[in-house]
Structure 1
Amino acid sequence: MTATIGWAWQRSEAPPAPLAVVAWHAAADGLLHRLMEMDDAALAPLQATACGSALVVAADRPEALPWSPGVAYAAPCDADPALWLPTLWVPDVPLDLLAHAMHQRHRRRPLLLWPDPAAVVPLDRMLPASGPMLARIQAHRSGASVEAP
Structure 2
Amino acid sequence: MTSADSTILRDMARLRKALERRMRIDDRAEELRARQPRRVRDGTLADFDVRGLWRRLRPMLDFDGRGYRALSGEMGVTPSDLSRAGSGQHLSYPKVKAICDWAGLDPNAFYIAPANAGKPRRRPRPTARRQRAFHVSSTETGVSQNA
> TM-score with structure 2 length normalisation?
0.26
Q: Which has the higher strand share?
A: 1
Q: Which has the higher helix share?
A: 2
TM-score of the two chains, using structure 1 as the length reference: 0.26
Look at both structures and tell me which one has the larger radius of gyration over its CA atoms: 2
